[in-house]
Amino acid sequence: MGGAVDAIVVGAGLAGLRAARALTAGGATTVVLEARDRVGGRTLSQPLGKTIVDLGGQYIGPGQNRLARLVQEFVVPTVPTFHRGTKVLALNGRRKTYEGAIPALPPLALLQLQVAITLIDRASKQVPLTSPWTARHAARWDALSVEAWYSRFTFGRDVRAMLRQIVRMTFGVEAGEMSLLHFLNWLRSAGGLIHMTTIEHGGQDARLVGAQEVSKRLAAPLGECVVLGAAVRHILQDADGVVVRSDAGEWWARYAIVAVPPVLAGRITYEPPLPAWRDGLTQRFPMGAAIKCIALYERAFWRERGFSGEAIGDSGPIGITMDLTSADGAQPALVGFIEGAPAREWGARAAAERRRAVLRDLASFFGPEAEQPTHYIEHDWTTEPWTGGCSAGVMPPGTLSRFGPALRAPVDRLHWAGSETAIEWLGYMEGALESGERAAREVLARL
């Protein structure tokens, strides 16, 4: 199998499929090569119990306009994220409950947390969206991890634990592993820390029911131009075009778009080799670690007790939980996320042991009924060879200021897409779509 086209797209996630649709709409012949036996990338949906569960990305919020348009066009159901009722905060060995959006911290800790958020958001506004490495303090901020930054202040244990959990549950890494500059860039791309991490009117305002359907619908008109089981191993380019060799055959094109996480793009063999500035980026851009756990129940017992289903904890594997009950209420469900160091630790343990620990965490938050689900399913994204983790790649200190310009810069006939390269909503489904559109425009301008 193989052939010649105007453009080859590597990866059939949201970025690659959006790029392919834009290329074909612009009159370019296109083929999409996907290593998996499915489309969708970091979205994965399947039926379970009386509902559809999403084992990957699924949340949508205000400002994610590209995704919203496709959801409306493809009639993908959405459900407002349930958040009414009592929340649980279990940090540093203490369990507290609270109402509303303000966490149950002592007054001094709340004041310190507000100061931290104000400092973070003020700094993020100084980071240029398209070129964060040109920020006035880019080198200094990039030399620090997020943890090194907040350790400079006299924040108490509670505030440090809260900041540590925010980084862990949002990015899938520890605060000491993430560059402060990359953290600020990510926040700027999503409208600030509060907007990105909150439910109502924020990044988790609603969820898609069957998020993978967006990719399936994007792929449908492309037909046989989407080739599955086509892991790309080698990319060769010269003055005339690009040759892409995959497990399903060899294709020639005038240009190619590589729409996979940078760490995976770096595992492809290139001829001639990529320049040091691009190769250096892919070597320093690991994926976050995340395990998504979903438990289905006969009754929404937490709602009956006045709980919203939201909990943040640091004593067990689960870092954050939310209500995942179906829109009609027929299928009560909770979702919990194991992220960062706990994901790496618990991912190495037996599945049965991990399940017991997850359900034990849920029971500590909401009551003993949590240990008796009707169905339980989990997905460890670190075990996905064609993803390598979730939700996105995260830069450690010293990377963005030095190698950031390589994120989107073409290398001769090669262009780059994927949520890690996004300008808006970096790391989100919205960002993946934006990156695909941008890469397609670049290629169409050269054809």
Whether the model clears a pTM of 0.75, i.e. scores above it, the answer is yes
The sheet with strand 78-80 has its strands ordered as 59-60, 206-208, 78-80
User: Tokens at residue 154, please?
Assistant: 């006299």
Q: 426 near 190, Cβ under 8 Å? A: yes
Closest CA relative to residue 136, chosen from 72, 199, 89, 181? 181
**Angle of CA points 142, 57, 167, to nearest 5°:** 30
Any idea what DSSP says for residue 420?
G
Q: How many CA atoms does the CB half-sphere of 109 hold within 13 Å? A: 14
Q: What is the pLDDT of residue 105?
A: 84
Residue 104: what pLDDT?
A: 80
At residue 137, the pLDDT reads: 97
Q: What does the alpha-carbon distance between residue 23 and residue 412 come to, in Å, rounded to a whole number?
A: 18
Element (H, E) at 257: strand 249-258
Nearest to 232 by CA among 4, 3, 9: 9
Which tens digits make up the pLDDT trace of 307-331?
999 999 999 999 999 999 999 999 9
- pLDDT computed for residue 435 by the predictor: 98
Tell me how far apart the alpha carbons of residues 34 and 40 are, in angstroms, rounded to a whole number.
10
Q: What does DSSP say about strands 78-80 and 45-48: parallel, antiparallel, or unpaired? A: unpaired
Helix axes 429-446, 14-25, angle to 10 degrees: 40
Do the beta carbons of residue 221 and residue 72 sit within 8 Å?
no
Six-digit token pair at 299? 């009754």
pLDDT tens sequence across 334-360: 999 999 999 999 999 999 999 999 999
Domains and CATH numbers, the chain: 2-41+212-286+395-446 (3.50.50.60), 45-62+77-83+288-383 (3.90.660.10), 109-197 (1.10.405.10)
Asked whether the bond before 435 is cis by omega within 30 degrees of 0, the reply is no
Q: What is the pLDDT of residue 430?
A: 98
State how far the Cα of 313 lies from the Cα of 253, in Å rounded to an integer. 50
8 A C-beta contact, residue 196 and residue 190: yes
Q: Where would I find the H helices in 125-156? A: 138-142, 146-150
Contact between 24 and 39 under an 8 Å Cβ cutoff? The reply is no
Cα–Cα distance between 414 and 260 in angstroms, integer? 13
Ordered strands of the 320-323 beta sheet: 94-98, 86-91, 307-313, 320-323, 333-339, 290-296, 375-380
DSSP H/E element including 276: helix 276-283
Distance CA 255, CA 252 (A): 9
289 neighbors 343 (Cβ within 8 angstroms):
yes
- Name residue 236's amino acid: L
Neighbours of 121 (CB within 10 A): 17
302 vs 369: CA distance, rounded Å: 9
Residues 6+ apart with CB under 8 A from 227: 1, 31, 32, 33, 34, 246, 248, 249
Ramachandran sector of residue 2 (left: φ over 0; alpha: ψ -120 to 50; beta: rest) = left
Per-residue pLDDT of the chain (447 residues; tens, 9 = 90+): 788 999 999 999 999 999 999 999 999 999 999 999 999 999 999 999 999 999 999 999 999 999 999 999 999 999 999 999 999 999 988 899 999 887 888 889 889 999 999 999 999 999 999 999 999 999 999 999 999 999 999 888 989 999 999 999 999 999 999 999 999 999 999 999 988 988 988 999 999 999 999 999 999 999 999 999 999 999 999 999 999 999 999 999 999 999 999 999 999 999 999 999 999 999 999 999 999 999 999 999 999 999 999 999 999 999 999 999 999 999 999 999 999 999 999 999 999 999 999 999 999 999 999 999 999 999 999 999 999 999 999 999 999 999 999 999 999 999 999 999 999 999 999 999 999 999 999 999 999
- Cα–Cα distance between 438 and 314 in angstroms, integer? 39
Instruction: Estimate the crossing angle of helix 157-171 against helix 107-124, to 10 degrees.
Output: 50
Residue 127: which of 181, 180, 194, 203 has the closest Cα? 181
Rounded distance, CA 127 to CA 133, Å? 8
Q: How many CB atoms lie within 10 A of CB 99?
A: 12
Residue 122, pLDDT score: 95
